[in-house]
């Protein structure tokens, strides 16, 4: 049980002033008995005393009530402050980006879990320069300690696989308990991994450079032939026919390149929108084979199509999946040997645990020169070619497999390559399989 903090714990609050009147009543009674004062004077003194006593008692109770209210508010504020501090600490601890708190001597006072994972678990109370060996970062921290101004610095971290990191440095001035100094300065560091941003920027730069180069080459060729036709070959009918054919081929190549660029841009815009339709995959592949039948006959090539698991419907966008398999079959024809066979196989496959996801796979295998293993990881990069001269002579733009990759990413699928030089190349497309009965597009 809690002990009540009161002078009269057994009396109601309203009767406590009456108890204080007992000594006065005894004194007044004694004075009246001794005839020192009259009864009337004693009565008046009693009334005045009672009024003063009640006034003082009321003021005392009001002050006590106000004091109790302030104590309760302080307790609530203290609890709220502690809860807010714990919440802030928990948030900082679980953020994916590293955060560090340093003193004015660059010693690490606090570090969240991400910082410990990045720099090591034995970093507290040690100099930051032992773990971040960057002159730019350490110089910026020194300037912030001296002037209190914030700084932002980029630097490379790591040797085997260096990462681009962005460090933001801020000064925190906290009231000091040292009478010699009114404020104590701390340094707050936040570190962000901007490697993906840098890679994207580099990809954009490379893309613009490659696209410019791919367009400049046929344009230069066309301009050269135009100058020739206007000059030395003005009256040479045979040269005109030959040059005009080359100019036409180069113009068609530019048209294909622009079409692929527009197609790639459209696919990237729709990358976050999953396809909503259902596609009859065997029918689609038969249609693609029929579309490319003329090219197959020109090289005396044949196609064998097997549907081992009787697959029919898969979720997807009909036009985009048509573009995928037209591109892959067209490559199999272009880079396959004459008088050879292209094998197309449709089958189901279950991913290894814990995923246990069933996929619908389409493999396209041709016999030909094959692809050296060092080129396979880069096949889906934009404008990447194994044999640049041969690819251009066959009408390739260097964007086909990049388009395929982006379409499959939208469909939650993926592509893989297998090849043996001078023997074969196999491309396998995996798409998610569903049991939906929605009608085909």
Per-residue pLDDT tens over the stretch 417-431: 999 999 999 999 999
Lowest-pLDDT choice from 122-126, 282-286, 351-355:
351-355
Query: What is the structure's pLDDT at 11?
Result: 53
Asked if residue 131 and residue 62 are part of one domain, the reply reads no
Q: Report the length, in residues, of the chain.
A: 441
Residue that finishes a domain, picked among 269, 299, 317: 269
Q: How confident is the model at residue 45 (pLDDT cuts 50, 70, 90)?
A: confident
- 421 and 317 part of one domain: yes
Q: Please state, as a whole number, how many other Cβ atoms lie within 10 Å of the Cβ of residue 165.
A: 21
Contact 367, 423 (CB under 8 A): yes
Domain region containing 300: 275-441
Q: How many CB atoms lie within 10 A of CB 66?
A: 10
Could you give the angle at the alpha carbon of 264 between the alpha carbons of 284 and 371, nearest 5°? 75
- Do 30 and 141 lie in one domain? The reply is no
Q: What is the pLDDT of residues 57-93, one digit of tens each?
A: 778 777 887 887 778 777 776 776 677 667 767 777 8
4 occurs within a structural domain: no
Asked if residues 334 and 292 have their Cβ atoms less than 8 Å apart, the reply is: no
Tell me if the pTM is above 0.85.
Answer: no
Q: How confident is the model at residue 441 (pLDDT cuts 50, 70, 90)?
A: very low
More confident residue, 51 or 105: 105
**Residue 1 within any structural domain of the chain:** no
- Which of 178, 193, 208 delimits the end of a domain? 193
Domain final residue, candidates 62, 90, 118: 90
Q: Based on the fold, state whether residues 234 and 279 are members of the same structural domain.
A: no
Q: Average pLDDT, whole number, for the chain?
A: 82
From residue 45, alpha-carbon distances to 26, 49, 51, 109, 312 in Å are: 13, 6, 10, 70, 110
Q: Is the pLDDT of residue 2 over 50?
A: no
d(CA 391, CA 209): 19
The answer for residues whose C-beta is within 8 angstroms of residue 134's C-beta and 6 or more apart is 153, 155, 157
Residue 219 shares a structural domain with residue 264? yes
CA atoms within 13 A on the CB side of 223: 6
Assess whether pLDDT exceeds 90 at residue 219. Answer: no
Residue 341, strand partner residues: 302
For residue 416, count other CB atoms closer than 10 A to its CB.
12
Per-residue pLDDT at 193: 92
Summarised one tens digit per residue, pLDDT across range 313-326 is: 899 999 999 999 99
Do 318 and 256 reside in the same domain of the chain?
A: no
**Does 189 share its domain with 202?**
no
Does 182 lie in the same domain as 135?
yes
Biggest alpha carbon–alpha carbon distance for the chain: 155
Per-residue pLDDT band for 288 (boundaries 50, 70, 90) equals: very high
Domain CATH code at residue 241: 1.10.287.130
72 with 106, same domain?
A: no
Q: What is the CATH number of the domain that holds 330?
A: 3.30.565.10
Band (437; pLDDT cuts 50, 70, 90): very low
User: Would 219 be classed as within a structural domain?
Assistant: yes
213 shares a domain with 120: no
More confident residue, 53 or 384: 384
pLDDT digits (tens, 9 = 90+) for 128-153: 999 998 999 999 999 999 999 999 99
Same domain, 341 and 436: yes
244 and 297 in a common domain: no
Q: How many domains, in total, are found in the chain?
A: 4
């Amino acid at each position: 049980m809690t002990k009540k903090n009161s002078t009269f714990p057994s009396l109601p609050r309203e009767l406590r002033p009456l108890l204080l009147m007992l000594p006065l009543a005894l004194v007044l009674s004694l004075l009246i008995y001794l005839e020192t004062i009259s009864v009337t004077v004693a009565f008046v003194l009693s009334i005045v005393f009672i009024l003063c006593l009640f006034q003082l008692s009321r003021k005392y109770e009001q002050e006590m009530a106000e004091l109790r209210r302030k104590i309760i508010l302080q307790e609530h504020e203290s609890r709220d402050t502690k809860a807010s501090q714990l919440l802030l600490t928990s948030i900082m601890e679980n953020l994916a980006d590293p955060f560090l708190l340093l003193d004015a001597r660059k010693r690490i006072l606090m570090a969240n879990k991400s910082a410990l994972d990045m720099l090591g678990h034995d970093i507290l109370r040690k100099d930051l320069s032992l773990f971040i060996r960057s002159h730019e970062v350490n110089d910026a921290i020194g300037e912030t300690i001296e002037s209190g101004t914030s700084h932002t610095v980029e630097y490379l971290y790591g040797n085997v696989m260096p990462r681009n990191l962005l460090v933001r440095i801020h000064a925190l001035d906290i009231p000091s308990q040292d009478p010699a100094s009114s404020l104590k300065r701390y340094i707050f560091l936040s570190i962000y991994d901007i490697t993906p941003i840098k890679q994207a920027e580099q990809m954009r730069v490379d893309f613009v450079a490659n696209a410019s180069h791919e367009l400049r080459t046929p344009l230069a060729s066309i301009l050269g032939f135009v100058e020739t036709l206007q000059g030395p070959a003005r009256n040479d009918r045979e040269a005109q026919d030959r040059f005009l054919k080359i100019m036409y081929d180069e113009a068609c190549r530019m048209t294909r390149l622009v079409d692929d660029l527009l197609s790639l841009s459209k696919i990237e815009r729709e990358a976050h929108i999953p396809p909503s339709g259902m596609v009859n995959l065997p029918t689609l592949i038969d249609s693609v084979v029929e579309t490319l039948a003329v090219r197959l006959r020109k090289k005396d090539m044949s196609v064998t199509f097997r549907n081992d698991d009787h697959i029919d419907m898969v979720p997807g966008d009909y036009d985009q999946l048509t573009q995928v398999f037209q591109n892959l079959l067209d490559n199999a024809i272009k880079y396959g040997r004459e008088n050879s066979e292209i094998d197309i196989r449709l089958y189901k496959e279950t991913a290894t645990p814990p995923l246990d996801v069933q996929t619908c796979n389409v493999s396209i295998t041709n016999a030909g020169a094959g692809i050296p293993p060092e080129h396979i990881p880069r096949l889906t990069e934009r404008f990447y070619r194994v044999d640049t001269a041969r690819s251009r002579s066959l009408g390739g733009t260097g964007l086909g497999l990049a388009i395929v990759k982006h379409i499959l990413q939208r469909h939650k699928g993926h592509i893989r390559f297998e090849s043996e030089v001078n023997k074969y190349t196999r491309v396998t497309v995996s798409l998610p399989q569903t049991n939906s009965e929605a009608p085909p597009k």
